[in-house]
Every structure is written in structure tokens, then in C-alpha cells.
Structure 1
């Protein structure tokens, strides 16, 4: 098989995405409209006249060298990662090199290992276990092979030890949904999650799907102040919702949990094909005892089941299982929902122009 890589328009890219079982929302044409600070293009892999792969490329320019870019494919591209990687990646590299890229960054949507919720629980209770990787996971042979192939081809891993780098997390938490009922998923949760879902219902928490981005953003900013992170502006969410719904009216949903008229939690669910993703969440400091966040999560999981989704993605975790690490609470909370912790191949860079790449790396470190 001889593949070529050529630009494709947004309509062709979207048609390809719709034909796939599962694609990250970061690899949809709409995401280019959200990341307005990057130049973007859609590329297609062709086997003769047939489109067999696609990727959204975000180009980040170098200060004072606008024609030189980091070409970034977040959680992509959408290709056959089980095949001959050189056949897929070599024409991509040639195309982006000719277009002025000084480096290429990929995030293959391929797993390397998974750990069950019970393993996570055991690891958290064992003082001799400090990280997920201290325990034997269930290896994925495709991910193992992709990791080796990238390393052998000169790609450089970009994920730090905690799994969170400048890009997207290498470790995630996911709940498999294929072939399961609501009762199956509920029974897979730990006692605390089930109790909190019942507590929210008993307290009269009502979860609705709505459109009030202003209310979501106000609660999100409150959450950011409490939890000490920098919130995104409201305009970011307005652009995100509008762009994604233009591709598919059901792509994005906003969930609001209210108790006696007070907004206590709000979340955003993004769905592409059979993959449902918890993208953003917010909660009030008051009335935390009514468990609005658990109510929102349960509503999103139930809707994902109705939509025929095979995976409910709770997004990033760190691999720490050390009780003294403040990040341990995140994996403990998510593991309570059942499911599994997953390590992906992670993000990798191929350096095309070292003289530009090295100062760019220094610039990014100074920016923090």
C-alpha cells in the first residue's frame, strides 16, 4: 500500500469522522474554529482515490519566525495504528516538512495499559505502591508496538512523569459502556458513588439539559477561584459550543444540577460517534452535601448509554497512588465510578529543524 497525504476540505474531513466508530473531538474540523490562536489545516491519507485517514493539524508559529511552526495533531491522527506506521507517517512528515514545520507533535489515540478500578483501590491502600505503573496493568500489544516504532523512528516522548504536560494527558479514566445496562454500570460503582447518587435524588436535586452558558461560566469561574486554576473566558465556551453544534446538533450538551432553585453543579458533555467525554465541570462550594456533581455525572452516563456510546471518558488523571500526593484524590474520585485507568501512548515530537526546536522549547518553558 502506497499512501499519499493531501489537504482536504472541512466537509470531506467531517464526512470521514462521521464514518468512524470513535474519534476524539480534538480531531474534528470544528476544533480548528475553537483554537483560533493556531493556524489549522485538515489533511487526508489517500490510497489511490480513496480517503483512508484524516488529521486536524494545528500550526503554532515561532515568535519572530512566523513561517516556521510546530505542527500538532492532538489525540490524532485518525489512521490505522495497527498497520505499517512508516507507510502512514512518512508521507505526513514529508508534507509538513515541506510546509515549514520545524517539528511535528502527535498524540496517538492508542492505549498501552489498563488497570481496573479494583486495582486502583488496592494500590491506593498499599503504602508500597506509589504509582499505577508499580502494578502490572493489562498491556495492549498495539500500543506497545506503536511506542517502540515511534522511538525507533526518532520520535521523542513528551509526557512528564505525572502524565500532564503542555499538551493532553497520557493517563485517563474511562468507563466501558458497550453491552452494559444502567444497573450494570451502577453496580460497577463503589458504595460511596452509589450512595451519593441516591443522596442527590433524595435531596431533590434536579438535573436538566440546558443552554445557559452564562450560568455555567459563572459557576466555572467560582470553581476556578476555589480550586486555584485559571478559567477560560466565556467566549471560549461560546465558540466551542457553536462550532461543534454546527457539525452535529447533539455533539455538545450542558447539564445543570439544581437544588431548591440553586445551581449546585454544571458540566459539559461532548460526544463523537460512540465516545462520550466529560469535558468540563463546575460545582458550588455551598450545598456540596447534596452531591450535585455526582448527579450530573450519572445523568451524563445514562444519556451516553441511551446514545449507544461504548466509552464514557472522564478525561485526565495523574498516575500517582501516593496518599500524600494531592493528585491522588482525583484518581480516587474517578475510580469510584468503576471502569478503568488507561495509559495511552502519549505525545511524541519529531524534530525536523533542531536549530528552531531547541529555542522554541526554551521559550515554552519560560512561559510556564
Structure 2
């Protein structure tokens, strides 16, 4: 057990302990820990992501109560989940929401799927059975032939909820040699990379205190491109103030000394994630994006333990799809984020929770329509993909 996790254990209240046995999984103990201990306690998890950080969640979702929980099996910490407890309108109840969790500490363990089932069972015991809430879980896009997390949730009785309009995520394989990586790229992507390498560009790994330069570049790009921005950019300062390995890495590309492109990458865990990118008007003819991502892939391979580089989604823009698809190439993966899954032990809790989510989806659809017709904003031009067969 890590020192940070042991400190967290010392602070847990005895009455916060719950345990339950999954139908096909091991006995998992679940315990609450203090928010101030959470981020350090999970910093070495394979499944860690920014959405599961306490520091991120308290800024991104100020209207909910984050409840960090660790899971143990036979005296060792095997995972965790940051559960967001949200009150329903009119005080009708509460729902427990988990995005990209629960997380496995060791995703490559031989019993990882059984441990995941056990963690889900412990969450059901605490939030659905004991506290009478609807439990809502959004799993990651999987890297296997099927999404075992989604399947485990459905097998436990979770019902399918809302789906993302553009659910595909683009995953680059980080464990390749330079030669194999370049060969895996789509031919067009590789050709653009070759041209970028003749444009006099330079790549640098910047220090955290240079983030102000990135903000200027990002603001200028947002004004120029007029993309709707639903990102969590307001959390950037707190993320950049975090200790290793949780602090994102900052990368720049310059041309004749001028900053033309930049990116922020969350690199802890098994899956590095492209958080934010920015370019100026000179970047496109220089093909700076190709140059930057090529060097980021190489840096991640050589300086982290991540197996995948998650480029995120497209928000419905075909140009982003073509760029990311070409970069994923033959060796990477394009996988959909599964639908949200919902469970409640009591019919009223499920009805209230599902009703609240349905109302939110109406609001989201209305917002999407307004943005689609609003003058000046870039318009999505990608056709939504049908729901993957495994999620039907």
C-alpha cells in the first residue's frame, strides 16, 4: 500500500465501511476517505483520469457533493471511485453519479474484471441499497473487443440511459517504435507529417509556469474558429498546480521563435489524455498539428507508463474525425463511449432519477440546436453514428 493511501486509511471513519460480495466477484470493502487525501491516494492507479480528481470536480461541478471512496480486497487497495452526489429539484431525493469510474488500480491484473464487478457491487450496496439513491455510471470507452465495464453493469441490472451524440474516442497505441508508429499512420497523415518536418518547426516540453502563454494562444484560437466550448478550461489553473504525476504536461511548437501550437496532456495512469490544444493562424499551412502530436506520442512513450493516448472525440466536426482517424492508424483503436447506465433498488428512486436525466437531455438537445443555428459559431458537419451493437 502506498504511503498516501495509508494516510487516507488512517483518517477514515469506522462507520463509513461497507462490504458486499459480487455475484461473480470477490469480497470488496468500500470506505470513504477525506477529499484532501483522495488525489494523492489514487495517483498511481491505472484507471485515473482528470474527471476522478477531487481538485477538478470541486471546480467543474460546484453544485454537487463529491464523495471519494477506496476499494480493498484482502488488505490491498484495488480501486476507487469519486462519487458525485447531486440533489434533485424540490428536494425529492439524490442521485449518485460516477463518470469514468470506478477505477481499477491495476487494469492488467488477472482478476481485474472480477474486481470491477466487486467494486460495482459495493457501490450498489452503499448508494442504492443503503442510501436509496439511483446510481448512475458512465464507463470509459474500452480497449478490448467488447466493453467489459458496460457488460458488467448491465449484467448487474443497470439499465441503459442516455448516449453521447458523437461517442467515438480515438486511441493511439503508445508502445510502438518510431518506425512502426509512422508506418501505422494513415498514408495522408504520414504525408502531412513529412511535410511538417521540412517547415522549420521546433518542439519543446515546457514548464508549468509557461501556461499563461498557452492561455493566450487558446483564447486567440477560440475567437478565430468560433467552436462551441463545453470544456472544463476553468479547471486548468488548479490542475497545473498539482504535484506529479497528476499535473498535466505542456508542449509547444514554434516557428522561427514564434509560438504556433500548444497542447496540454494528462499523462497519469494507463491512458494519457489530450486535454486542450491551441494553434494560431500560421499553424495550418505549416502543418504544426501533425508535428506536435508526433512528438507528443514519442514523449509519452519514453517518459510515461501509458499504453494509450486518448485524443478525445470530435464534437461532430468531420475535419477532426479525419485528423484523429489518420493518426490512430492501423495500430490504434476507435471505440465508442458506452451509454450511461442507471440502477436503483427502489422504483421511486429510479423514476425520479431517470426523470431528472431526461429533463437534462431535453436541455442539452435544445442547447445543441441553438448552437447549430447560431450565426458565427462553427457548425458540426459529421453524421452521428448509430449505437454500437454491443450497447443495444
The alignment's TM-score, normalised by the length of structure 1, stands at 0.75
The number of aligned residues is 322
Contact 1:54 1:78 in 2 (8 A): yes
Q: Counterparts of 1:150 and 1:287 in 2: how far apart (Å)?
A: 44
Other-structure match for 1:209: 205
Give secondary structure in 2 for the equivalent of 1:238: helix
Distance 1:254 1:87, change over 3 A: closer
Other-structure match for 1:365: 361
Q: Counterparts of 2:259 and 2:204 in 1: how far apart (Å)?
A: 11
Of structures 1 and 2, the one with the larger relative CO (CA 8 A, separation 6+) is 1
- Tell me how far 1:198 sits from its aligned partner: 3.0
Contact 1:154 1:350 in 2 (8 A): yes
**1:281-300 → structure 2 map (5 Å cutoff):** 281-300=277-296
Other-structure match for 2:248: 252
Q: Counterparts of 2:41 and 2:166 in 1: how far apart (Å)?
A: 30
Other-structure match for 1:105: 136
- Tell me how far 1:359 sits from its aligned partner: 4.1
**1:68-147 → structure 2 map (5 Å cutoff):** 68-79=93-104, 82-83=113-114, 87-97=118-128, 102-109=133-140, 111=142, 139-140=145-146, 143=147, 146-147=149-150
Instruction: Confirm whether residue 329 of structure 1 aligns to residue 319 of structure 2.
Output: yes
- Tell me how far 1:341 sits from its aligned partner: 0.9
Contact 2:254 2:261 in 1 (8 A): yes
Contact 1:220 1:231 in 2 (8 A): no
The alignment's TM-score, normalised by the length of structure 2, stands at 0.71
Q: Counterparts of 2:47 and 2:170 in 1: how far apart (Å)?
A: 17
- Tell me how far 1:267 sits from its aligned partner: 1.0
Give secondary structure in 2 for the equivalent of 1:277: strand
Q: Counterparts of 1:75 and 1:233 in 2: how far apart (Å)?
A: 15
Distance 1:32 1:198, change over 3 A: same
Q: Counterparts of 1:84 and 1:241 in 2: how far apart (Å)?
A: 32
> Which one of the candidate residues 196, 202, 207 is aligned to 1:200?
196
Instruction: Confirm whether residue 228 of structure 1 aligns to residue 227 of structure 2.
Output: yes
- Tell me how far 1:9 sits from its aligned partner: 3.6
Q: Counterparts of 1:343 and 1:361 in 2: how far apart (Å)?
A: 21
Other-structure match for 1:305: 301
Instruction: Confirm whether residue 348 of structure 1 aligns to residue 354 of structure 2.
Output: no
Instruction: Confirm whether residue 266 of structure 1 aligns to residue 262 of structure 2.
Output: yes
- Please list every run of 5 or more consecutive structure 1 residues that lacks an aligned counterpart in the other structure: 114-138, 165-170, 319-325
- Tell me how far 1:233 sits from its aligned partner: 7.8
Distance 1:232 1:221, change over 3 A: farther
Q: Counterparts of 1:107 and 1:14 in 2: how far apart (Å)?
A: 20
> Which one of the candidate residues 151, 160, 176 is aligned to 1:157?
160
Contact 1:254 1:268 in 2 (8 A): yes
Q: 1:261-315 CA distances to partner (integer Å, 9 max, x unpaired)?
A: 4332221111113422111112223442001212221121111011143211112
Contact 1:34 1:240 in 2 (8 A): no
Q: 1:313-367 CA distances to partner (integer Å, 9 max, x unpaired)?
A: 112257xxxxxxx644332211211222123544312245134224422441353
Contact 1:275 1:311 in 2 (8 A): yes
Q: Counterparts of 1:110 and 1:283 in 2: how far apart (Å)?
A: 27
Contact 1:112 1:345 in 2 (8 A): no
Between Structure 1 and Structure 2, the one with more strand by share is 1
Q: Counterparts of 2:269 and 2:82 in 1: how far apart (Å)?
A: 17
Other-structure match for 2:6: none
Q: 1:15-54 CA distances to partner (integer Å, 9 max, x unpaired)?
A: 6534444533333444334435132121122335443321
- Please list every run of 5 or more consecutive structure 2 residues that lacks an aligned counterpart in the other structure: 1-25, 105-110, 365-392
Instruction: Confirm whether residue 177 of structure 1 aligns to residue 184 of structure 2.
Output: no
Distance 1:215 1:161, change over 3 A: closer
Please identify, of 73-82 and 230-239, the stretch whose mean Cα deviation from structure 2 is larger. 230-239
Contact 1:112 1:343 in 2 (8 A): no
Please identify, of 5-14 and 47-56, the stretch whose mean Cα deviation from structure 2 is larger. 5-14
